[in-house]
Amino acid sequence: MSVTGSRRLLSVVAFIAVSLAAGSVQAQTRAETLRYVTGASVNTLDPNIPGSTREAFAVSLSTYDRLVSFGRKQLNGKWVFDLGKITGELAESYDVSPDGLKMTFRLRKDAKFQDGTPVTAEDVKWSLDRVVTAPVLGKAQLLTGSMTSADQFKVIDPLTIEVTLPKPDKLALPNLATVYPIIFNSKVAKAHATADDPWALAWLKENTAGSGAYKIETFKPGEQVIMARNEAWNRGTTDKSAFFKRVIVQSVPEPATRANLVERGDADLVIDLQASDVQSLEAKGKLKVISTPQYNSVTFVSMNNQIPPFDNVNVRRAIAFALPYDDMFKAALFGRGSPLFGATWADGKPSSGTYPIPQPVKLDLEKAKEYLKAAGMPDGFSTTFSFNVGQASTAEPMAALVKESLAKIGIKVDIQKLPDAQMSTQINEKKLPFFTEGIVAWLPSTDYFYRNFYTGNQRWNYSSINNPELVEIAQKARFEPDAAKYEEDGIKLNAIHFSEIPQIPLWQPSQDAVMASSVEGYTYQFHRQVDYRDLNRK
Amino acid sequence: MQAIGATMIRAGRRFLSSLPALFGVLVFTFLLMRVLPGDPAVFFASGPNAGQEEIEVIRKQMGLNKPVPEQLMLYLYDVGSGNLGRSMMTGQLVAKDLRERLPASLELTLTALLIALLSAVPLGVLAALRPGSIIDHGVRFFCALGVCVPTFVSGLLLIYVFYYLLGLAPDPTGRVDIFASLPPRQTGFLLIDFLLAGDFDGWWAAFRQLILPALSMALFVVAPLARITRASMLVSLGSDFVRTARSVGLPWWRVVVTYALRNAILPVITIAGIVFSTMLGANVLVEKVFSWPGVASYALDALLSSDYAPVQGFVLLMATVFVIVNLMVDILYGIADPRVTIG
């Protein structure tokens, strides 16, 4: 063997060694990277911008901190956010005064923004002022927690901030844990503010100035966001930084492709698959599937209580007993979710004061016909049933079943499939007589649901119901400090809801999170997205 | 040399003469978008708790609070100064979005067209050489198959077989492996940019990513190209000059390629031009299936959410591309048949 020969051998060995090493380095980075695929896209880095998507919320909560965040609890063996447990995020501790009018937050001394400067009470004040003053989405949200003016936020010392409330409000503190009141680095933000844009809305839309667990590496709206871990962040569950070194949030519009990607192991986590795909992936058993009923959301069939014939309560009752609930649940969701029909209420009284609760309705065509007769329309009538294109995969089979079933009691239904923008316009103008929609409340308390979705002449009052008694109880319940009385109010509200039947709650769809079996820590969050900080790989 | 200069001048004049048409397209799309039902402001204010106030803010942002004629004048002024407005969906300037996404669409469409031409022209020629034979029927069958399977079906099938079952293709999302680093942007065409950067691994990755979507698009357009090649080859093969060429004893390939095909290629160029323009707009399904960050899927998303500015920008872009493609077809005509000049 000549010298050149052995040298060649050596170089071959070296080459193999190097490529193996390169391979393992790559494998390691892959293990420390979370690849999350979704059908929607991130369109802004500031969740306050009107038009921001839900995906944007998840990214913002990873790049920014709030004063406080929700704890988590187990619900039927699955982790979900806990509305009743508020823990500090930037706040080391907080106090609520005995009269409920003052909340004092003491900031962590070691909290730093991503540029290394400490987080101060001034920054918190600026950020909270911004939410209640600038034309942003947070304004309407914080209103539900009685925070409306910048005067309510006061800096006590560099690490203490005080929030004053006009009335004790149960939702004030939880509101500070939603996605809007994130804390900005006010010095950086102010440097990019202009006379026209004093709150730096334009700049913060495409840049971040936060103290969160991740930094933005690349942001391509509509395609992908890549985030890198902020090593200095120590506000994780055990005072550690987040687990994943990199998080890739990628838009993959085709649901079948998302399913393929996660099944092949190229993606780690996906939450918005089609129900049929989830079912088959679950059956194969290779992946972890965590299905959590979205306990803060409701899918319903709504009727416009101001338009004939739906202004007649007997017509609404007739419809409630003419819907083929079981078939709809199977056709639309493959039974994935928790049904809100088919309950039996002892003595006809609501079983609890929480919202939503299963309603005592089931398919009963005889009863439906009686109600139609009572409404003076024994021969039925014609109407349209609308749903939006974005929900077609679940709403289309449902609509067909509604049409078929209502035809049996003489109600002729035309199915209307509307583009999303058109549907929202018509809902806003209160023009749709009969349609299906879904609602979500970030802060799922009974009075919040009733105030937002069943009162006032506003868009979210889908059924346009106007019931003075309901309005009064809902407003009163908001400030009710006594838990037992609050429960009583809830039962009253639920009773009114059932006797009026402004709309028919159908079910709470499941959030199906499909992930590689190595991914752990998934928690169902109020914004129905993934909090990347919760996750790790074992 | 002089001829090229003259051609360029004529081409420039032709382009200028199509400006009124582009202007018409601009105004028409603008009005069309406003006539469509659905209020974009309401749609974009659909977050939790967004009320009337938020709707008004968005309406103002989108400039929808002004009367339509005023909106049109403002829009024309903006377009004149190179500003196509801002997309509500992505939050970016439309011109920037389109500039970033157009190369992706062009790269995909051009590759698909190249694949289609390279397979369709030989197929058409073969079919024409033996009309009525088994080859002819085979080509016809293949064309029928290609045209009757919608692109998203062939796309999903290709993904299923080559990615999901065999694991040969890379994961069908985007233009390059998500973990790979991109070359510095020079042209926006990844295949070119990777070459310029001297990154051959990157080039290979981008190329592999491109094959499946390009194939599913190419399948769809092979049929018109092959059929037109066959038809015009038949005419050209039956003509006097081919008979003469044959009778003087020229080799058969020379007769077929130089005499018949060169004369038969004109209609193929025309069809290729049209096919290219339609593909660029119509490949929305392929772009969706393969998460390709192109302009067509961008425009569709915008249309579904009544996001006016991107749709208008897209239509204007397509009209411009159409004008340019037609111009290039005419120039190619001149090369294929020197008797034709553009004027």
Each of the 343 residues of chain B gets a pLDDT tens digit; together they read: 566 777 778 778 877 888 888 888 888 888 888 887 777 777 777 655 566 777 787 788 777 888 888 888 888 888 888 888 888 777 788 998 899 889 999 999 999 999 999 999 989 988 888 888 898 898 888 888 888 888 888 888 898 899 988 888 888 888 888 777 778 888 888 888 888 888 888 888 889 999 999 999 998 888 889 988 999 888 888 888 888 888 888 888 888 888 888 888 888 888 888 888 888 877 888 888 888 888 888 888 888 777 888 888 998 888 888 888 888 888 877 777 777 665 4
Q: What is the pLDDT of residue A126?
A: 95
Report CA-CA distances (Å) from B163 to A154, A260, A282: 58, 9, 21
Q: Hey, is the C-beta of A196 within 8 angstroms of any chain B C-beta?
A: no
Strand partners, B216: none
Q: Do A261 and B306 touch (CB under 8 A)?
A: no
Residues of B in contact with A258 (CB under 8 A): none
Q: Do B54 and A442 touch (CB under 8 A)?
A: no
What sign for the dihedral angle of Cα B170, B296, B92, A128? negative
Distance CA A81, CA A443 (A): 10
∠ CA A264-A265-A269, rounded to 5°:
120
Q: Do B91 and A44 touch (CB under 8 A)?
A: yes
Residues of A in contact with B289 (CB under 8 A): 254, 257
Q: Hey, is the C-beta of B306 within 8 angstroms of any chain A C-beta?
A: yes
> Is residue A5 scored above 60 in pLDDT?
no
The first and second tokens of residue B258, run together, are 């130089």
Q: Hey, is the C-beta of B298 within 8 angstroms of any chain A C-beta?
A: yes
Residues of A in contact with B43 (CB under 8 A): 420-421, 424-425
Residues 6+ apart with CB under 8 A from A210: A63, A64, A65, A113, A114, A182, A183, A184, A185
Mean pLDDT of A139-162: 91
Where are the extended beta strands (E) located within chain B?
Answer: none
Q: What is the pLDDT of residue B309?
A: 87
Q: Do A260 and B298 touch (CB under 8 A)?
A: no
Distance CA A410, CA B182 (A): 62
Strand partners, A66: A182
Q: Do B164 and A263 touch (CB under 8 A)?
A: yes
Mean pLDDT of A354-359: 90
Nearest to B255 by CA among B247, B245, B266: B245
> Is residue A467 scored above 60 in pLDDT?
yes
Q: Do A49 and B50 touch (CB under 8 A)?
A: no
Hey, what's the torsion of the CAs at B322, B325, B330, B336, to 10 degrees?
-150
Distance (Å) from the alpha carbon of A84 to chain B's nearest alpha carbon: 21
Instruction: Give the residue from chain A lying closest to B46, CA to CA.
Output: A51
Q: Hey, is the C-beta of A252 within 8 angstroms of any chain B C-beta?
A: yes
Residues of B in contact with A52 (CB under 8 A): 47
Q: Hey, is the C-beta of A44 within 8 angstroms of any chain B C-beta?
A: yes
Nearest to A52 by CA among A205, A253, A156, A189: A205
Mean pLDDT of A474-481: 87
pTM of the prediction?
0.83
Q: Do B48 and A141 touch (CB under 8 A)?
A: yes
Q: Are A126 and A184 in contact (CB under 8 A)?
A: yes
Q: What is the pLDDT of residue A165?
A: 93
Q: Are B307 and B40 in contact (CB under 8 A)?
A: yes
Q: What is the pLDDT of residue A237?
A: 64
Q: Which of residues 142-171 of A touch B (CB under 8 A)?
A: 143-144
Q: What is the pLDDT of residue A10?
A: 52
Distance (Å) from the alpha carbon of B119 to chain A's nearest alpha carbon: 28
Distance of CA A274 to the CA centre of its chain: 18
Q: Which of residues 133-192 of B touch A (CB under 8 A)?
A: 156, 159-160, 163-164, 167, 171-174, 178-179
Mean pLDDT of A4-12: 52
> Is residue A7 scored above 60 in pLDDT?
no
Name the 3-class secondary structure at A387.
strand
Q: Hey, is the C-beta of B58 within 8 angstroms of any chain A C-beta?
A: yes
> Is residue A20 scored above 80 in pLDDT?
no
Residues of B in contact with A422 (CB under 8 A): 37-38, 306
- Crossing angle of helices B308-336 and B262-282, rounded to 10°: 170
Q: Hey, is the C-beta of B253 within 8 angstroms of any chain A C-beta?
A: no
Helix, strand counts (H, E) of chain A: 17, 20
Q: Which string of DSSP letters, residue by residue, matches A419-480? A: -HHHHHHHHHTT--SEEEEEEE-SS--HHHHHHHHSSSSSTT-TT----HHHHHHHHHHHT-
The per-residue pLDDT for range A237-288, each reduced to its tens digit, is: 666 788 999 999 999 988 888 999 999 989 999 998 888 899 999 999 899 9
Mean pLDDT of A90-119: 92
Q: Are A458 and A186 in contact (CB under 8 A)?
A: no
Q: What is the pLDDT of residue A29?
A: 67
Q: Hey, is the C-beta of A298 within 8 angstroms of any chain B C-beta?
A: no
Report CA-CA distances (Å) from B335 to A81, B4, B113, B253: 69, 11, 20, 21
Mean pLDDT of A286-299: 90
Mean residue pLDDT of chain A comes to: 88
Q: Hey, is the C-beta of B40 within 8 angstroms of any chain A C-beta?
A: yes
Q: Do A420 and B305 touch (CB under 8 A)?
A: yes
Residues of B in contact with A222 (CB under 8 A): 89-90, 97, 293, 298, 301
> Is residue A344 scored above 80 in pLDDT?
yes
* pLDDT confidence tier of residue A3, bands split at 50, 70 and 90: very low
> Is residue A520 scored above 50 in pLDDT?
yes
A–B interface: beta-carbon pairs under 8 A = 149
Instruction: Give the residue from chain B lying closest to A225, CA to CA.
Output: B178
Q: What is the pLDDT of residue A270?
A: 94
Strand partners, A382: A412
Residue with tokens 């103008």, as numbered in its chain: A429
Nearest to A221 among B90, B164, B171 (CB): B90
Residues of A in contact with B163 (CB under 8 A): 260, 264
Residues of A in contact with B305 (CB under 8 A): 420-421
Instruction: Give the residue from chain B lying closest to A136, CA to CA.
Output: B54
Q: Which of residues 444-473 of A touch B (CB under 8 A)?
A: 452, 458-459
Mutation test of the interface with chain A: which of B49, B153, B161, choosing the one with the most A Cβ atoms within 10 A? Answer: B49
Q: Are B143 and B223 in contact (CB under 8 A)?
A: yes
Q: Do B171 and A264 touch (CB under 8 A)?
A: yes
ipTM: 0.79
